[in-house]
Amino acid sequence: MTRIALFLATNAAILVLISIVFKVFGFEGILAENGVDLNLQALLVMSAVIGFGGSFISLAMSKFLAKRSMGVRIIEQPANQAEQWLVSTVKHQAKQAGIGMPEVGIFNSPQPNAFATGMSRNNALVAVSSGLLQNMDDDEVEAVLGHEITHVSNGDMVTMGLIQGVINTFVIFLSRVIGHVVDRVVFKTARGYGPAYFITSIVAQIFLSIIASVIVMWFSRRREFRADAGGASLAGRTKMIAALQALQRGKEPKDLPGEFAAFGISGGLGTGVKKLFMSHPPLEERITALREANQ
């Protein structure tokens, strides 16, 4: 809760600062002179409510959506030795990391992968794919679990939700400002909103969302290096490197569907411009970072 409160306070301060800047530089007056009757402060507040509201609703529903969309089967009573080992390993690592015991689940997928999600450090879900259990040995799976537990202990799900909220706020705000300006100044709409406002706002929002995705994915990639380091701390650096190498030996990695892509142990490959939209750094870069960590 402290992380959320500080983040919201920081972004409230940013909104206030932007309002002050608009007043100091007379942006509202310039818009008014050109017939743009736009209350920037009200628009900022509305954008923040929509931007953060969507992120927090998504975060609050993340465990439910994971269970339904990914078909995650929660291990309530281990049915075999493998499930018992999985639960006990997560329990041990959660205790080491100082977090509450997450729910532990398995989802059916031939692709070796795992993810963590949840509203808080003490109310999380850690799930692994059937392909991960079939294609990795215990040491490698232990390292993958350590990686996901680190995501939880670092509060990465909340952090990414807050970052997405900030980005959403400014995408909504700027797209509406651009729509207003084009509608009033270029097409001279006198009252209400003309077609130009809606069309321009939609086009601007799509364009700005693409740029915003680059920023969010950059944060996601930085966060993966930290989770790898945490996995190395919990399970051992050799095991973490071995787990990443095992992912390299598998088939071409793919992102998890939808919002869970950023929370998997591995993601899709990309070259050139596509690398800007990758949720995970290339596996080779992650392995190199671990090898160089203690040099």
pLDDT tens column, 118-168 = 888 899 999 999 999 999 999 999 999 999 999 999 998 888 888 888 888
pLDDT score, position 87: 97
Residue 21 is predicted with a pLDDT of 60
140 among known catalytic residues: no
Residues of the chain predicted below pLDDT 50: 1-3, 6
What's the confidence (pLDDT) of residue 55? Answer: 81
pLDDT given for residue 276 in this prediction? 83
Q: What is the pLDDT of residue 243?
A: 96
In this prediction, residue 248 carries a pLDDT of: 87
Write the CA distances from 75 to 6, 47, 69, 135, 146, integer angstroms: 35, 40, 17, 20, 18
Catalytic residue among 103, 140, 142, 148: 148
- pLDDT reported for residue 157: 87
Q: What is the pLDDT of residue 7?
A: 52
Residue 38 CB contacts under 8 Å (≥ 6 apart), including other chains: 28, 31, 177, 180
